[in-house]
Amino acid sequence: MEAAFTPTWRQALRHGLSLGGLVALVGVTGALLAGMVAPVPSVLWFVLAGSSLATGAAGGVLLGRRGTRIDARGIRTAAGHEPWDRVVDLRAERRGARTVVSVYLVSGASLQLAAPYSGDGPLAEDPQFELKVSALSHLWRSHRIGGVPC
């Protein structure tokens, strides 16, 4: 049995808009510095800000869909792989403006999963977060006691 948890399209869009805002800020700052040397037409400001925002948003949406994969061997994230026998606990916790899933390991370390998560606001919340955490917890418990066939 295998499962994948990725951010919702709204969460990916929010991530993209945030990244796009940063890219636009860098682009406009560069144009301001260039404007000190030579005059910059006003139309160029709008083109620069709009294209930077759109480019950053598209990149953020594409990169913001990375998540967590669960299989018979354990939990896979972008950071690595943790086998089931190293997982001691799994729980939803509030971290800043988000509720995330934290995985506690035998070593005492904890790992925060990239997805699922739910945040404050219309673009950050995941209406199915509790259902996903329940499914993730069920998979962990099943693998821990050997109830899920490989």
Asked whether the beta carbons of 12 and 61 are under 8 A apart, the reply is yes
Q: State the Cα–Cα distance between residues 91 and 38, nearest whole angstrom.
A: 56
Single-letter code of the amino acid located at 52: S
Q: How far is CA 37 from the centre of its chain?
A: 40
Q: By C-alpha distance, which of 84, 87, 85, 81 is closest to 69?
A: 81
Q: Are 73 and 148 in contact (CB under 8 A)?
A: no
- Average pLDDT in the chain: 84
Overall fold of domain 68-145: OB fold (Dihydrolipoamide Acetyltransferase, E2P) (2.40.50)
CA-closest candidate to residue 4, choices 56, 61, 77, 62: 77
Mean pLDDT to the nearest integer, 79-88: 89
Interval 54-63: pLDDT, tens: 887 787 777 7
Burial class of residue 79 in the structure, from the number of CB atoms within 10 Å of its CB (0-12 exposed, 13-18 middle, 19+ buried): exposed
With 0-12 CB in 10 A as exposed, 13-18 as middle and 19+ as buried, what is 56?
Answer: buried
Tell me the pLDDT tens digit for each residue of 94-117.
999 999 999 999 999 999 998 999
